[in-house]
Chains A and B, each alone.
Chain A
Amino acid sequence: MSSTPSAEGPAVTRDLLDNPLTGEERKLLDAYRLLRELAREAPTPCVAANVRAALAPIAVAVTDLGLSFEHLLDDGC
């Protein structure tokens, strides 16, 4: 699969109902994990603010699809 292991651990390959991810879902989770990493790295204010602003709706999308369910307050979202 295309998901790349990250600081958060090995790539997720199944959703909350233990179904295998589709290609679109894997890409969405990749984007979500990448944005989370960027949000945690505390880059310059303009990057941090915009990454967080991008992360919030992506988090909603992964929740909508039942791929992941997290609260994100610790990431500033």
Chain B
Amino acid sequence: MTVAAPYWNPKTECMPREQLRALQLAKLRAVTEWAQARSPFYRRSFAAARFSADQLRTLDDIQRIPFLTREQWMHSQDERPPYGELPVAGREVAIRLHTTSGTSGSTPLRALDSRKDWAWAAEMWAYALWGIGVRATDIGYVAFGYGSFIGFWGLHYGLEKVGALTIPGGAQTTAARVRQIVDFGATVVATTPTYAMRMAQEAEALGIDLPGSAVSRLVLSGEPAGSIVETKTLIERQWGAKAFDTAGMTEVSTIFMFEPENQPGGCHIIEDHFIEEVIDPQTGDRLGYGERGERVCTSFGRSMIPLLRYRTADLVVRQPAAAAGNGRTWDLYEGGIVGRADDMKLVRGTNVYPGAIEAILRTHDGIEEFQIRIERRGARDEVVLQVEPHPRFDDAAWTALAEALVVELAEAHEGLLFILERAATGALPRFELKAKRLSDLRPAGAHTTVRA
């Protein structure tokens, strides 16, 4: 079946790129006119930039549209609570409200969606699930708490849409979820990378053989996964299953990219529903293939909240479609989301990036959890790495691990020495959704956050 029908929507997934660009332009004109006519926010924003929807004559004219930032969205919410002036219709038209998880700011964004918006959100997941190889014969387990965070809600509906038997994990203990996955014969499990590892630890403690279970595919989202090969490899070993990267965001309401079944080392952008640009985060200039920069997202799917040129702070490297070698004409993000512009820290002149640290840690067996703490000690900034090893680690094994990590971390960070601390078993926090492993405890103004 996979060979016979590899594409959810062959018409656009394999469309010649000049036609794809023409289709994007037609949709861009429509959504920009819609935003200009309906949204007070966009009317002001366009006027300030001396832009009007009728100026869109070619796809490159998208660069005339002003950027939308998270700060603007939040400011609009604060000025006109609770939803701000981005929505083009009142809450009485909406059927769903979701919020961001709050990992990048104290105030969550609030996003309203219509019935059609949610049908579209499920459709984007259907593109991904089908491309990953999920079919009606599959049994999908959603290891997710179903809260106001938008998370895997869309995946749930996407699983139903492709006809899979869908099992909502809901609010249960990790042990109960692991048992259900095995007892119900789940073939597909959807989770964050962090929680995939957490469930594997729990299975080991319960004496459950996950690699011997029916699970053949893991759908990962919510955190970098494809970009951290070592983490992905570890998860695949723990589960005895292939792990596929996806990424979305509340601002979009669903996912915008997925790693296809042939796993070409990157994720396809769903280009008939999104225009994705990569820019230099400092200058705003557009970057080309192979250049690392900030992704800017324009979405055609939302009616309630038009999303035009949203600066995501995600760092990506775009590659042409041919690199995938699977017949799709959609471009790729090599390695998925390779980092967050706002996650990068400057410590004594050296860039410290959590993903790079995690990549080193995951090459070592027996690390259960970790936390990164940046703090001021006297006149110096220090990076403290708390590592929780597997309970089987004795003192000698821990010492050997710590010594190896110090050397490897220094080599990867221009000689910067990390302070290693051993955390007791179960002492570090576990996460179901997005993990928060970095704390910058330095006094305000005493350090610089580098955007890229």
Contacts and interface: CB of A to CB of B under 8 A. Distances in A.
A70 B27 CA distance: 9
A69 B88 contact: no
A65 B118 CA distance: 18
Contacts, number: 63
B114 A17 contact: no
Interface centre among A55, A63, A65 (most CB of B within 10 A): A63
A69 B123 contact: no
A16 interface: yes
A72 B123 contact: no
Contacts of A17: 19, 22-23, 26
A52 B115 contact: yes
A29 B93 CA distance: 24
Interface in A50-77: 52-53, 55-57, 59-60, 63-66, 69-73, 76-77
B271 to A, nearest CB: 12
Contacts of A60: 116, 119-120, 123
A16 B89 contact: no
A64 to B, nearest CB: 5
A65 B27 CA distance: 12
Interface string B290-306: 00000000001001100
Contact of B27 (A56, A69, A77): A69
Contact of B12 (A52, A57, A64): A64
B272 A66 contact: yes
B306 to A, nearest CB: 9
Contacts of A16: 23, 26-27
Nearest to B90: A73
B263 to A, nearest CB: 24
Contacts of A57: 119, 123
A55 to B, nearest CB: 8
B377 interface: no
A58 to B, nearest CB: 9
B9 A64 contact: yes
Interface in B199-219: none
A73 B93 contact: yes
Contact of A66 (B23, B34, B93): B23
B300 A59 contact: no
A64 B304 contact: no
A65 B34 contact: no
B115 A56 contact: yes
Contacts of B272: 64, 66
A64 B11 contact: yes
A5 B303 CA distance: 26
Given A17-B19, A69-B30, A73-B89, A63 B300 contact: yes
A40 B12 CA distance: 30
Highest count of chain A CB atoms <10 Å: which of B116, B272, B304 = B116
A64 B23 contact: no
Contacts of B93: 73, 76
A59 B119 contact: yes
Contact of B116 (A64, A65, A66, A72): A72
Nearest to A70: B30
A63 B9 CA distance: 11
A65 B26 CA distance: 13
Contacts of B273: 63
A39 to B, nearest CB: 10
A59 B273 CA distance: 13
B22 A56 contact: no
Contact of A69 (B9, B11, B22, B300): B300
Nearest to A59: B116
Contacts of B31: 69
Contact of A71 (B22, B23, B119, B303): B303
Interface of B: 9, 11-12, 19, 22-23, 26-27, 30-31, 34, 88-89, 93, 114-116, 118-120, 123, 272-273, 300, 303-304
Interface of A: 16-17, 52-53, 55-57, 59-60, 63-66, 69-73, 76-77
